[in-house]
Structure 1
Amino acid sequence: MLKSLETQLLESRWDDEVAKGMSESELLLYRSNILGADKRVTNYGGGNTSAKVMEADPLTGAQVEVLWVKGSGGDIGSIKMDGFATLYMDKLRALKGLYRGVAFEDEMVSYLPHCTFRLNPRAASIDTPLHAYVPRKHVDHVHADAIIAIAASDNSKELTQEIFGNRIGWLPWKRPGFELGLWLEKFCRENPEADGVVLESHGLFTWADTAKECYDQTIDVINVATRWLAERSAGVPAFGGAIHESLPAAARREVAARLMPAIRGFVSDNQHMVGHFNDSDAVLEFVNARDMEALAALGTSCPDHFLRTKIRPLVVPFDPAQNNILAVLSELPDQVAAYREAYAAYYARCKHDDSPALRDPNAVVYLVPGVGMITFAKDKATARISGEFYVNAINVMRGASAVSTYQGLPEQEAFDIEYWLLEEAKLQRMPKPKSLAGRVALVTGGAGGIGAATAERFLAEGACVVLADINEDSLASTQERLSERFGADVVRSVVMNVTREEAVAAAFAEASVEFGGVDILVSNAGIASSAPIEETSLALWNKNMDILSTGYFLVSRAAFKLMRVQDMGGAVVFVASKNGLAASPNAAAYCTAKASEIHLARCLALEGAEAGIRVNVVNPDAVLRGSKIWEGDWLEQRAGTYGTDKDGLEEMYRQRSLLKRSVLPEDIAEACYFFAADASSKSTGNIINVDAGNVQAFTR
């Protein structure tokens, strides 16, 4: 085992002082949150909790029994009060009279809204009957790895009896629903002294008459199983022992950076997918093991696991001792195609007349010996969570294979969960994806006014963003601000000097490891200088050219290389300047470098068209607010050139424009968004001037 027994055992998070004075529903929320705070107790979105509470009926004022239970799609670790469904218990009991048997149990879900208490809009989940019919006030259902390791063993009933005696019962596999709720009720009636039950291949139910007692029961049962597993598996090599050695951490990320864009290109036919890389100790122990491929082929056991990870992963034939990355990349297309064919055959074998259509046949999980695990999904959070679920599955396989024989769910049962009509209905209710969902953008100068505003605009439309900037402090503060608003999953930063080849290459490699690749490049890094030509030093000239011309070349070249590997097209947006089209006094170096940018974009538009890579230009003018280049000498120099002071410069620029309006970073961000989005999918080699109107910069 990777951890000592002491570190595996759960500690109680219950604090009597915190819980003091809470109502029954508040205690349910408290219990739920502290259970869900530990992924060893249950995975994200998995498991559910409930309490039967006496409430005043809103119509009669009489006290009635109400079931509070986690609503559909919630997560007990982060749930709030409005995440619970509330239902009249007398009406839930009345549903038994309407039940027509297992063949019709799905129809019972449609009756649940009729049981709603206080018109609560939170939809009740399919697990509601499992909680309603247990004749105890408080019920926990969790997917603890230690419990599922027992539940997924081929002799799980015998192991449950050996570990717990009569304290915890056992029920055979049954898909969650109304029938399983009746099974649980029957078990409780027949075993009134039992504290819970293990569900084969699924998880644990525990119950009690108070919230604290129920919480303590759940933690203790998991710890009993954990202690037993640790003692029984002591000295047993995990997964048959290691046959590969892990590469060093930096080398693992290098391999992942090569693999992920290639895989991403293959799996993004229907929608852009986002990747996640995990090389934790638990993952490396598994991918390096002798029995890894055989265990992976068996698939996962717990329904929550394979709903997130598909029935089984794809094992990438990388040999860390040989570092055969080129051979792996050349074989990858055939491997991905073979997985798709196998998945389609699985669908054909198991489908019913009313099954939903075949979904995306690509793997979600990719296991790479010596390197780690890669997961792909429609967004970063889902990709990360899918990886976390497979880590849960790894932990289950470790425990089960050490004390018994691990077994996944039978194929037909797995299919019936994956293509369950109720699950399909839930998917159909999902909101329409935002316009940049699944896209990954890299923004240079990302800590400045225009760069940060552009990143914010992209994030608002569902993109993931890598902020690249040379200013480390500003970069950190910008990332923190955007992460607070949009979530830490979707924002990354990298310190990058656009004039250094190795720094640019490293930034794109980082984007590949963090998100799987890059779809959008906004080349925005910049400086500005002002001096008469006779006072322009060679160093100043070269500095402008290095950053504004060579820097744009290096970043674009790296983007083109990566986008060609992905073979998904792409969008490159240069933030140039009005000065690239219109001459300006005392700014020859700056204007010439900006003109170079614009012509480079034209050339790249020609080269990228056959690969679907669009290259366009946004030309700002006089964006003073939030812009880093206006914080230093440039502001003073331009004010001197036009015979005004710093305070009057913005007004001078506003009055100079045709529209008499100031240009803000958000205005440039909107133009960048247009060129990044599908709305401009038929535009390349174009220029948008965002300058409030300057006749000298008209492009025609």
Structure 2
Amino acid sequence: MSLTATFKHVSYLWDDAKAAALAGDEVALLIYRSNLLGADLRLTNYGGGNTSCKTIEKDPLTGEETEVMWVKGSGGDIGTLTKSGLAGLYVERLRNLKNVYRGISHEDEMVELFNHCIYDLNSKAPSIDTPLHGFLPFKHIDHLHPDAAIAIAASKDGKRITEELFNGTIGWVEWRRPGFDLGLKLKACLDANPGIRGIMLGSHGLFTWGDTAYECYVNSLEVIERCAQYIEDSLYKQPAVFGGVKVQSLSKEGRAKQAVALAPVLRGLCSSHTRMIGHFTDDERVLQFVNSNDLDRLAPMGTSCPDHFLRTKISPLVLTLEPGEDLSDAKALKQKLTPQFEAYRQMYADYYSNCKHANSPAMRDANPVVILYPGVGMFTFAKDKATARVAGEFYINAINVMRGAEAISEYTSLPRQEAFDIEYWLLEEAKLQRMPKPKPLSGRVALITGSGGGIGKAIAKKFAQEGACVILNDNNAERLEEAKAEFLKQFGKDVVAANVLDVTKADTIQDTVNAVILAFGGVDLVVNNAGLSISKPIEEHTEADWDLLYDVLVKGQFIVTQQTVAVMRKQGFGGDVLNIVSKNALVSGPNNAGYGSAKAAQLHLSRLNAAELGADKIRVNVVNPDAVIAGSNIWSGGWAAGRAKAYGVSVDELPAYYAKRTLLNEIIYPEDIANACFAFAGGLLGKSTGNVLNVDGGVATAFVR
């Protein structure tokens, strides 16, 4: 039987040929092993755990051989680890730090001393887990956070179960916050139990090792496989998971409908301190937990593993809503939910007050990160989509741990004081303070119609570059897919969503609005950019031409604004509507009756909306371009020929003609319009509404005043 077939609960991914190509380079094999481990979320969560190897290198000062440890640096992820993410330290110097260690009350000062042990000057900053690897003698070491192992580590009888399950070949170290002292505890456990293959950290995770990268990898898989199989066998014997079903789930469609109705209200309530981005999942593991009889007992306990806790907060907020409850009245819904949020914030404030130390950082945002809705699913909110999504993934890890621990014994979480000491650890606070300053549009969600190409795509790209999440849309599915692929490559899956939208069809508008809510929790920036143009003499202009122009430009702008404003009002913190109109809204010209009058209607509709929506802190402004040629569907259609005919020039001469008639003698590009939109949305013009910004190179007849 192949080794691959011996594993049921983990993935054996080792490729002998790939490993053979790395033979002799232990650091390369460490990275290879790490990436394989990080590729299976059953082995460790994103950003969690760390791996190391020890090699013999030449000391650049003495020329003598010396032992060096290569370990994942601070803030990295083993699944995407590269050499630049490793810290390289002299092992002897690191171990000699024991001589200056002043005890557990002086843990934090040891972290700065790690810098005196650096061998590789290009190292990533060493993490707090560095001594955990350094004090163990093994060449290759894995520290992972597998749900199956943590379920045992977080159970009331975890130590006994570990001893019996592994016949004494896995050691046990009681809970201790990561740091120098925990490293000493690991070494003491090994000294007391020579020959063990790993150590279970109470409430935390697992250490395993080997003499080679491969032996370490297989050892890790075998230990985790055994933990997982033990839990599966125990679950099989249980009459019901989590005490059985208390609430029945809605259908998939029903869950999505409730999430769409609820998410903007939750986002508004969660954003009382900082503008948040949302994530929703109705994963079966989530539903099993939120629908259970044990939810009310287990959810308030919080998580056990520090990595879980740091991303999910002390405990989730469980909503007191019925699965099929009518959520259509946003005002009534907010009134019902506000006391629940106030109670959660007070709980968090009490937790902070009861646990803080004299030197603790100031209390952070008291709003929940994880929100559970029985029968529907889980919402998570954070400063950006990636953090919100990862928080949801970590809470699923926590659910797995609770399910496993309850199956084999009884789940235990971190004591509140221990949890606080991790959340408000001064080293963690220092890490937060080193985070880069948020970009101007961080925490904001943008919907730009017609963003498959041309002006719309340029606006979407500008907004994404400035920190916004964007939902691309277009009525051309092929063009939309091309834009989506480009954006995913440049910005990643946590910044971009896409949906086919035809502004003449209200159902596709609603579908896209629903999609942006499910993807990001709501919407803040709406750009009505979708358009077309028809240039004909009045005698050639058909009624169908007229209807199409007004359906796309005027009615489309109205319905998109109407539906997105409804979301903004649910959120309750304002927003921006930007309408891409045209200098033709102000300038009269030949062969332009339908297009020009529709643009004029768009412009005045913008004024009307600005007057109506100001009370909701929703700003409505206009950007008036002219002759934006690059990437434009308008240009590739009959518009170019029509305008060239109207001006008595050839199509090839049209760009130069447009430029020469401007005061600045400039050609206008999609990026120029994108910059104008950012000027309105970027924060400096937060008190501007009902305005028109011309981006036409200077056409005097288009001056507003």
- Relative to the length of structure 2, the TM-score reads 0.97
User: C-alpha offsets along residues 45-70 of structure 1, whole Å, 9 cap, x if unaligned?
Assistant: 00000111111222232211111000
Tell me which residue corresponds to 2:110: 108
Give 1:329 shift.
4.5
Counterpart selection for 1:475 from 461, 475, 480 = 480
Tell me which residue corresponds to 2:430: 425
Tell me which residue corresponds to 2:616: 611
Contact 1:400-1:406 within 8 A present in 2 as well: yes
Contact 1:71-1:124 within 8 A present in 2 as well: yes
Counterpart selection for 1:397 from 399, 402, 415 = 402
Q: Counterpart of 1:284 in structure 2: which amino acid?
A: L
Tell me which residue corresponds to 1:206: 208
Counterpart-to-counterpart distance in 1, 2:149 and 2:530: 53
Whether 1:240 aligns to 2:228 is no
Counterpart-to-counterpart distance in 2, 1:509 and 1:653: 40
User: C-alpha offsets along residues 428-456 of structure 1, whole Å, 9 cap, x if unaligned?
Assistant: 11010001001000000111200000000
Contact 1:148-1:201 within 8 A present in 2 as well: yes
Which deviates the most, 162-171 or 381-390? 162-171
Contact 2:537-2:590 within 8 A present in 1 as well: yes
Which deviates the most, 660-669 or 19-28? 19-28
Give 1:638 shift.
1.4
Q: Counterpart of 2:691 in structure 1: which amino acid?
A: N
Give 1:328 shift.
5.2
Tell me which residue corresponds to 1:448: 453
Counterpart-to-counterpart distance in 2, 1:616 and 1:37: 46
User: C-alpha offsets along residues 196-222 of structure 1, whole Å, 9 cap, x if unaligned?
Assistant: 111110000011211110111000000
Contact 1:318-1:325 within 8 A present in 2 as well: no
Rate the CA distance shift 1:493–1:194 in 2: closer, same or farther, 3 A: same
Tell me which residue corresponds to 1:19: 19
Tell me which residue corresponds to 1:73: 75
Rate the CA distance shift 1:322–1:603 in 2: closer, same or farther, 3 A: closer
Counterpart selection for 2:314 from 305, 311, 322 = 311
Q: Counterpart of 1:85 in structure 2: which amino acid?
A: A
Counterpart-to-counterpart distance in 1, 2:33 and 2:431: 27
Counterpart-to-counterpart distance in 1, 2:241 and 2:660: 73
Tell me which residue corresponds to 2:39: 37
Give 1:322 shift.
5.1
Counterpart-to-counterpart distance in 1, 2:7 and 2:139: 32
Rate the CA distance shift 1:8–1:585 in 2: closer, same or farther, 3 A: farther
Tell me which residue corresponds to 2:297: 294
Tell me which residue corresponds to 2:259: 256
Tell me which residue corresponds to 1:459: 464
Counterpart-to-counterpart distance in 1, 2:61 and 2:608: 73
Counterpart-to-counterpart distance in 2, 1:321 and 1:240: 23
Counterpart selection for 1:167 from 150, 166, 169 = 169
Rate the CA distance shift 1:593–1:229 in 2: closer, same or farther, 3 A: same
Which deviates the most, 562-571 or 117-126? 117-126
Tell me which residue corresponds to 1:89: 91
Counterpart-to-counterpart distance in 1, 2:681 and 2:261: 24
Summarize the alignment of residues 257-296 of structure 1 with structure 2, pairs less than 5 Å apart: 257-296=260-299
Counterpart-to-counterpart distance in 2, 1:511 and 1:322: 22
Counterpart selection for 1:576 from 573, 578, 581 = 581
Q: Counterpart of 1:566 in structure 2: which amino acid?
A: Q
Counterpart selection for 1:362 from 345, 364, 367 = 367
Give 1:324 shift.
6.4
Counterpart selection for 1:195 from 194, 197, 202 = 197
Q: Counterpart of 2:312 in structure 1: which amino acid?
A: T
Give 1:674 shift.
0.9
Counterpart-to-counterpart distance in 2, 1:469 and 1:676: 22
User: C-alpha offsets along residues 248-283 of structure 1, whole Å, 9 cap, x if unaligned?
Assistant: 112211111111110111111232110001111111
Q: Counterpart of 1:308 in structure 2: which amino acid?
A: R
Contact 1:244-1:321 within 8 A present in 2 as well: no
Q: Counterpart of 1:334 in structure 2: which amino acid?
A: P
Counterpart-to-counterpart distance in 2, 1:324 and 1:638: 50
Give 1:7 shift.
8.6
Tell me which residue corresponds to 1:123: 125
Contact 1:316-1:368 within 8 A present in 2 as well: yes
Contact 2:317-2:344 within 8 A present in 1 as well: yes
Give 1:121 shift.
4.1
Identity of aligned residues (%): 52
Rate the CA distance shift 1:620–1:7 in 2: closer, same or farther, 3 A: farther
Counterpart-to-counterpart distance in 1, 2:52 and 2:409: 33
Count the aligned residue pairs: 696
Give 1:367 shift.
0.7
User: C-alpha offsets along residues 341-372 of structure 1, whole Å, 9 cap, x if unaligned?
Assistant: 11000101111111110000000001111111
Rate the CA distance shift 1:8–1:346 in 2: closer, same or farther, 3 A: farther
Contact 2:85-2:123 within 8 A present in 1 as well: no
2:80 partner SS: coil
Contact 1:58-1:118 within 8 A present in 2 as well: no
- Relative to the length of structure 1, the TM-score reads 0.98
Give 1:506 shift.
2.2
Which deviates the most, 53-62 or 38-47? 53-62
Q: Which runs of 5+ in 1 are unaligned?
A: none
Contact 1:575-1:620 within 8 A present in 2 as well: yes
Give 1:321 shift.
5.1
Contact 2:577-2:618 within 8 A present in 1 as well: yes
Give 1:636 shift.
1.5
2:539 partner SS: helix
RMSD (Å), alpha carbons = 1.4
Whether 1:686 aligns to 2:691 is yes
Contact 1:245-1:321 within 8 A present in 2 as well: no
Counterpart-to-counterpart distance in 2, 1:323 and 1:567: 20
Contact 1:378-1:438 within 8 A present in 2 as well: yes
Rate the CA distance shift 1:7–1:585 in 2: closer, same or farther, 3 A: farther
Contact 2:172-2:189 within 8 A present in 1 as well: no
Give 1:468 shift.
2.1
User: C-alpha offsets along residues 29-83 of structure 1, whole Å, 9 cap, x if unaligned?
Assistant: 0111000111100000000001111112222322111110000000000111100
Summarize the alignment of residues 620-659 of structure 1 with structure 2, pairs less than 5 Å apart: 620-659=625-664
Summarize the alignment of residues 483-632 of structure 1 with structure 2, pairs less than 5 Å apart: 483-632=488-637
Counterpart-to-counterpart distance in 2, 1:636 and 1:50: 66
Give 1:424 shift.
0.5
Tell me which residue corresponds to 1:376: 381
User: C-alpha offsets along residues 99-144 of structure 1, whole Å, 9 cap, x if unaligned?
Assistant: 0111111110110111111312410000000000011111110000
Q: Counterpart of 1:146 in structure 2: which amino acid?
A: A
Rate the CA distance shift 1:460–1:648 in 2: closer, same or farther, 3 A: same
Counterpart-to-counterpart distance in 2, 1:505 and 1:15: 48
Counterpart-to-counterpart distance in 2, 1:448 and 1:523: 14
Q: Which runs of 5+ in 2 are unaligned?
A: none
User: C-alpha offsets along residues 485-515 of structure 1, whole Å, 9 cap, x if unaligned?
Assistant: 0111111111112122222222212111110
Whether 1:228 aligns to 2:230 is yes
Counterpart-to-counterpart distance in 1, 2:468 and 2:41: 27
Counterpart-to-counterpart distance in 1, 2:429 and 2:334: 34
Q: Counterpart of 1:310 in structure 2: which amino acid?
A: K
1:20 partner SS: helix
User: C-alpha offsets along residues 263-309 of structure 1, whole Å, 9 cap, x if unaligned?
Assistant: 11111123211000111111111111111121111110100001000
Q: Counterpart of 1:654 in structure 2: which amino acid?
A: A
Counterpart-to-counterpart distance in 1, 2:606 and 2:328: 33
Counterpart-to-counterpart distance in 1, 2:163 and 2:604: 76
Contact 2:323-2:373 within 8 A present in 1 as well: no
